[in-house]
A = this chain, B = another copy of it.
Amino acid sequence: MSSITIRDVADYAGVSRATVSRVLNNNPAVDQALRVRVEDAVQALGYQPNRTARRLRAQSSNVIGLIISDIRNPYFLSIIQGVEDVAYAHQMSLILCNSDEDPTKEQMYLRVMEAEHVAGLIMVPSQSSEEQQLSRLKKIGIPVILLDRVADDFEVDAVKVDNERGALDAVRHLAALGYRRIAIITGPMHLTTGRERYAGYRSALEAAGLAYDEALVKIGNFKTESGYQLTRELLAMAQPPDAIFVSNNMMTLGTLRALREQGIHVPQEMALVGFDDMPWSGDLYSPLTVVSQPTYELGQEATNLLLRRLADPGLPFRTVILQTRLIVRESCGAKLRS
């Protein structure tokens, strides 16, 4: 074990532990000569401050907690990297937890974060209602940044994407290509992501003068299996849709699978636009036209927000909304007509 402590450094340098501590913390009120002696001692001994002791005493910490809702979803990959990169740049480390969409597990991790005295917390809430989320957060005494699923009027800092606008872009694109019966597979209505993407769908329909047909609205749970099932339901209709907008990456994978199983060609017999891009979305069975979220920036932004909050706890709450981008590949059929 690295059992070299501040005391060893102090002895080696011939100063008090207080002075060593001051040098370590860049306290300007230290004589240059002493500073150099301490730095040499640190170097010579390979000393490394014990973060646990520092945290206990200083009542401050340089670790950030990150709780995400489903580690298996590649959506979170770049988000994690975004968080990690800016945390690293600020010399902070990360504790990552996976709530697995389980409010109980989430609650437990919230307590862990508290017990670990993390400086702050970034979290993607699990699939529970907003009131539940809020009440859970109220219980912990740590700055929290909410990510992805978040109502605009929450009393917390948050980062999200303009879901309604993204969905609107997607469906408008489909309408412009001439599709008339556009279905949506959206997420749970108690999640803002499910609700807002659905709202964008309705706006686009209206703007395009297309009739709203409730039979074309399917509500899934953002998992592959649910995309698969709901697509089968859509295909079994007497009058199936001619296009489908699927509101997240995992469900889109399920939709694609269902379509392929039934031998339905995309986009010739069914157009498809998904939400969320993945590095391999262009390499899928049908290269996916997609509403792309700036995931890396989402992670960066959340971390910046947290850093800002830590620096100045009195600031008013802020919600940062990032824009999506429509990436046109083949599944929407745009290239069929050109």
Contact A51 B224 (CB under 8 A): no
Is the CB of A176 closer than 8 A to any CB of chain B?
A: no
Is the CB of A71 closer than 8 A to any CB of chain B?
A: yes
Is the CB of A84 closer than 8 A to any CB of chain B?
A: yes
The CA-CA distance from A313 to B260 in the complex, in Å, is: 53
Contact B97 A93 (CB under 8 A): yes
Which one, B49, B112, B117, contacts A93 given CB within 8 A? Answer: B112
Is the CB of A52 closer than 8 A to any CB of chain B?
A: yes
**Which chain A residues in 259-293 approach chain B with CB under 8 Å?**
260, 279-280, 282-285, 287
Which one, B224, B260, B283, contacts A260 given CB within 8 A? Answer: B283
Interface string of A77-121 (1 = CB under 8 A from B): 110110010001000011111100000010001011011110000
Supposing A284-B280, A284-B283 touch, asked if A93 and B74 sit within 8 A by C-beta, the answer is no
Contact A98 B117 (CB under 8 A): no
Is the CB of A325 closer than 8 A to any CB of chain B?
A: no
Which one, B1, B77, B80, B95, contacts A141 given CB within 8 A? Answer: B1
Contact B111 A48 (CB under 8 A): yes
Is the CB of A63 closer than 8 A to any CB of chain B?
A: yes
The CA-CA distance from A283 to B106 in the complex, in Å, is: 32
Complex interface: chain B residues within 8 A of A94 (CB): 95-97
Complex interface: chain B residues within 8 A of A109 (CB): 93
Complex interface: chain B residues within 8 A of A283 (CB): 253, 256-257, 260, 284-285
Contact A51 B117 (CB under 8 A): yes
**Which chain A residues in 107-155 approach chain B with CB under 8 Å?**
109, 111-112, 114-117, 140-141
The CA-CA distance from A222 to B165 in the complex, in Å, is: 37
Complex interface: chain B residues within 8 A of A77 (CB): 71-72, 74, 77
A: residues with CB less than 8 A from B are 1-2, 48-53, 55-56, 61, 63, 71-72, 74, 77-78, 80-81, 84, 88, 93-98, 105, 109, 111-112, 114-117, 140-141, 224, 253, 256-257, 260, 279-280, 282-285, 287
Given contacts A51-B117, A71-B84, A77-B77, 6 further A-B contacts (CB under 8 A): A49-B115, A51-B116, A52-B55, A74-B77, A95-B96, A253-B283
24 A–B contact pairs at CB < 8 A?
A: A2-B114, A49-B115, A50-B56, A51-B115, A51-B116, A52-B52, A52-B116, A63-B116, A71-B80, A80-B96, A81-B98, A84-B97, A84-B98, A93-B97, A93-B116, A94-B97, A95-B96, A224-B279, A253-B279, A256-B283, A257-B282, A280-B280, A280-B284, A284-B285
